Amino acid sequence: MDWQELLHDPPLSGFGEVAPPIFQNSLFAFETVAEFEEAMNRGGRPVYTRITNPTVMTLERKIAELEGAEAAVAFSSGNAAMAALLFSLLQAGDRVVAATPVYAGTYGLLTGMLPKLGVSTELIDGKDTEALLAALPGARILLLESPTSYTFELQDLEPLTAAAREAGVLSVIDNTYGAGVYLRPLEHGVDVVVHSATKYISGHSDVVAGVVAGPAEVMRQVRGQGLVFLGAKLAPFEAWLLVRGLRTLELRLARHQDSALEVARFLESHPRVRRVLHPGLESYPQRELARKYLRGTGGIFSFELADGDAARKLADGLELFRIGVSWGGHESLVLPLAAQPRVVSSYSFPEGLVRVFVGLEPAPALIADLEQALARI
């Protein structure tokens, strides 16, 4: 990863600016028909912001560098990025093998939207490497998310991606957790990476966006079909905010990680907490896989209380932590899964499970908040 690429930009305006300009244009005009035809046929110069825009292209170049990919395409949300990728590459009769549990929005695409188009999905426990390997022959896409949503379970990426490549199956991973810093999937054989850039890449809770990164030929297909025809383009201002977020990504992740580990160790020692699901703890069941694949653990994890009523009471009793469905910003959040019955029922999660995101507040203050809320249960 070239941090020079993430921290510095060549001036585009000729005025020596240290941050890229926001090209708030819907289109780009040409002096001659020949110039227009050249741009339409060969690219290289923006024509219409729904397809390419200089500010968005700056972000895409940086994300590709972050992940070590040939190219990237940005979208208006993480779900739009995943949908554009799947709709661009799949056709009737294709089959997806998906390691579970997957993010709820992706689960909806796989089980609600794709079957209408004649695409089937085989949902397999992500910890069962042998079952995933056995399902690969004849599949079109292997869809991974490591660690998984809510329970933070890892998949053994290298044997899966090697087998997928041998079987002619495209491997795709949701790398929102690793953010291209704490997990580098392409180094372990993954073909395509998807991000909800709303989370760590933004880092300020002020953008909703998504990005896909991978081989140039696949990205051309995603841009030419998924972006052009679905129309879920990223706006220039949001792209500019994400470029800003990338500049502090590594620093923010380090703070999230240190504080979250401190909070997780406190929770692990508390008598009201049944278990803590955090890949950085020695008690984590897949500790060896965490050492193999993760360079860090960030700020998000889960812990389990006795039941859904206890989880609700904890969330209502917190003062610094707020209740919210997203994460990755400066603010600390909790999400009791008891408040999301459809998610609980889809994967038979325990109702006492609480997802916690540790923001940028001091860890001792967050621990004190959890301590007083746990005492009220």
Question: Which of 50, 291, 322, 376 does the annotation list as catalytic?
Answer: 50
Question: Which of 94, 156, 174, 191 does the annotation list as catalytic?
Answer: 174
* Closest-CA residue to 302 (of 359, 263, 253): 263
Question: Which of 62, 94, 103, 191 does the annotation list as catalytic?
Answer: 103
Side-chain half-sphere CA neighbours of 105 within 13 A: 14
- Residue 116 among the catalytic residues: no
CB 202 within 8 A of CB 329: yes
Query: What is the chain's Cα-based Rg?
Result: 21
What's the token pair of residue 38?
A: 């050249």
- Residue 258 among the catalytic residues: no
Question: Which of 199, 233, 252, 312 does the annotation list as catalytic?
Answer: 199
CB 297 within 8 A of CB 259: no
- Residue 107 among the catalytic residues: no
* Closest-CA residue to 81 (of 61, 105, 98): 105
Per the DSSP assignment, residues forming a β-bridge with 99 are 124
CB 314 within 8 A of CB 354: yes
* Closest-CA residue to 219 (of 26, 11, 1, 43): 43
CB 167 within 8 A of CB 136: yes
Note the residue count of the chain: 377
- Residue 342 among the catalytic residues: no
Positions marked catalytic: 50, 103, 174, 199
